[in-house]
Chain A
Amino acid sequence: MAATLTKDEALFQFLLRMGDNTLILGHRVSEWCGHAPVLEEDIALANTALDLIGQTQMWLGLAAEVQGDEKSADDLAFLRDVWDFRNVLLVEVPNEDFGRTLMRQFLFDAWHSIQLGHLMTSSDDRIAAIAAKASKEVAYHLERSADTVVGLGDGTAESHGFMQAALDYLWPYVGEMFSSDDVDAAMVKAGIAPDPASLRADFDALVGRVLADATLNIPESTFAHKGGRTGAMHTEHLGHLLTHMQWLQRAYPGANW
């Protein structure tokens, strides 16, 4: 792969990784609409999903531009199959319950905020501009998800139990956010994006602090599922998500909506 990867191909893959993360997580969060535990959470979840879908329009819009096949962000979102998606596995796992949803959001927000901080100084002005806009939204997402994780972790014995179970389930999906490959090496070389592995120390410090306040224990295992950001092996869940999300575009090809 390394020998044949041009800079634009690597950039395209990188942009898909950013845009597919926000697309798939935005979709998952939007599944909550009207079913949240309290009205304020309905509003916050819809707001988070809305921000993530807005960021998707920017990332996938730029990806389509880089690809140069006269494709649009919508073509990329609605007409690719599972193997072409480049999101980390963490964002495609089902919502399950409010605890898992918020824990997943917090783990992603922590990585996302650090990543966007670096991307704001990207050598590619278009990426720096998207990161500058998105980072303001993500700072709020992180504040809210961290506060909620602390509130529920350090709440009742029952809420603590839900949050510890969520952390135990999700922790094996954390490591993939920090794995590196040829695409990342090309991005580092071009000064476009940081090496994912280099974000881990900041992530561990931030997550360690919040989870300690939440009285939750980080699992000892460092095992990491992977395959999402390379497309090598997604979970079974992504296909079902796409079945929903892409249905109208697939059933009525060529229509304008």
Chain B
Amino acid sequence: MYAQMVKSEASTDDPEKLAAFQARIDAGEKIEPKDWMPVGYRKTLIRQIGQHAHSEIVGQLPEGNWITRAPTLERKAILLAKVQDEAGHGLYLYCAAETLGVSRDELTEMLLDGRMKYSSIFNYPTLNWADMGAVGWLVDGAAILNQVPLQRTSFGPYSRAMIRVCKEESFHARQGFDAIRKMAEGTPAQKKMAQDAVNRLWFPALMMFGPSDADSVHSTQSMAWKIKMNTNDELRQKFVDQTVPQIEFLKLDLPDPGIKWNEERGHYDYSDPDWSEFFDVIKGNGPCNTDRLAARNKAWKDGQWVRDGLLAHARKKAARKHAAE
């Protein structure tokens, strides 16, 4: 997901307060920033929302890679609108994280020096135009499956951010499917691009949900706190079940020979992604990790004079206003 393998913190708070807090969550109440909350709940949420925000920001890069090469004015406009939405999602999410007592600049510094992560998916390259369809359809499609239930998450600001994000994400997934459909139904060269995109992005998309919950040490506490709503495997299965018929509709080959309908389970069987590749990507060894982080660091460093200049001007303006009063 946009937040993967978020480490949850054990709580060392007063047991009575903890029990009362859990009771509020169990009753479906929203926790607001000024309410009492366990230290672990706060820390876990900062990590999760921060990682989600960083994913939106870094996620601009693989799509930005094709904005200047979009093949029509309409496709260029759609892609610009989508990337603009993603930067906007980053902004809501940083704002939600700030209500927990961490600043956007602090979170940014942690992204830039590698202390915080972003989704593994954005460390894969976008190599042909069909990737713009596949990213919207598969990547945003996978993200939606996680984000729809997060609209009901226990932390109020995160829940409200997710409600806004989900509205835009469903447009992203639809435009992605529309773009790849044009390719799948197009010339042999376009069809080849579409197949290449699906083949390359299928397993990385499955990895977005994180490793199997059987191996996940962080799920139980986060699920009790309702900051994680479903298990990774549940969501991954849901993704496979909804996506396989779409691949067939597009008349593209399935990207995994292990995909088969299982009558007994009422679900598609599928092959597990190569988890050693996933852990390599998480450790920084994905195809684009170094370049993505370097691009963000360069933008931040090159922009220092701009941020300093605007801040200095705002201070001068305030001082002039003060002097005039």
Contacts and interface: CB of A to CB of B under 8 A. Distances in A.
Given A36-B303, A42-B87, A53-B77, A256 B312 contact: no
Contacts of A57: 73-74, 77
B81 to A, nearest CB: 6
A217 B68 CA distance: 34
B2 interface: no
Interface stretch (B29-37, B57-65, B198-206, B256-264): B57-65
B115 to A, nearest CB: 19
Given A33-B80, A74-B73, A256-B186, 16 more contacts: A34-B83, A35-B295, A37-B300, A42-B60, A43-B87, A43-B91, A148-B310, A156-B308, A156-B309, A160-B309, A244-B68, A244-B69, A248-B71, A255-B186, A257-B72, A257-B179
B177 to A, nearest CB: 15
A187 B115 CA distance: 60
Contact of A47 (B84, B189, B190): B84
B76 A156 contact: no
B75 interface: yes
Interface residues of A, number: 52
Contacts of B311: 155
Interface in A65-91: 73-74, 77-78
Interface of A: 23, 27, 30-31, 33-43, 46-47, 49-50, 53-54, 56-57, 60, 73-74, 77-78, 97-99, 148, 150-152, 154-156, 158-160, 162, 244-245, 247-249, 252, 254-257
Given A37-B307, A156-B308, A252-B190, A30 B80 contact: yes
B76 A255 contact: no
Contacts of A35: 64, 295, 298-299, 302
A222 B308 CA distance: 32
Judged by DSSP, the binding face of A is helix
Contacts of A159: 305-306, 308-310, 312
A247 B187 CA distance: 17
Contacts of B312: 155-156, 159
Q: How large is the interface on B (under 10, 10 to 19, 20 to 34, 35 or more residues)?
A: 35 or more
A98 B60 contact: no
B43 interface: no
Contacts of A47: 84
Query: Interface centre among A33, A43, A50, by most B CB within 10 Å?
Result: A33
Contact of B69 (A154, A245, A255): A245
B122 to A, nearest CB: 11
10 nearest CB pairs, A to B: A37-B303, A159-B309, A155-B309, A33-B64, A34-B60, A46-B84, A37-B306, A248-B71, A257-B71, A151-B313
B61 to A, nearest CB: 5
B90 interface: yes
26 contacts: A31-B68, A36-B303, A37-B307, A38-B306, A39-B90, A39-B104, A41-B306, A43-B87, A43-B91, A46-B80, A53-B73, A54-B77, A56-B73, A98-B303, A152-B309, A154-B313, A156-B305, A156-B309, A158-B309, A159-B312, A244-B69, A245-B69, A248-B129, A249-B72, A255-B190, A257-B71
A120 B25 CA distance: 57
A33 B302 contact: no
Contacts of B183: 257
Contact of B308 (A30, A49, A56, A158): A158
A77 B70 CA distance: 12
Interface in B62-115: 63-64, 67-77, 80-81, 83-84, 87-88, 90-91, 94, 104
B182 interface: yes
B223 interface: no
Given A74-B72, A244-B68, A98 B306 contact: yes
B314 interface: yes
B172 to A, nearest CB: 14
B267 interface: no
B88 A43 contact: yes
A33 B74 CA distance: 17
A93 to B, nearest CB: 16
Nearest to A249: B71
B305 A33 contact: no
A37 B299 contact: yes
Nearest to A255: B187
Contacts of B76: 30, 53
Given A37-B299, A98-B303, A155 B87 contact: no
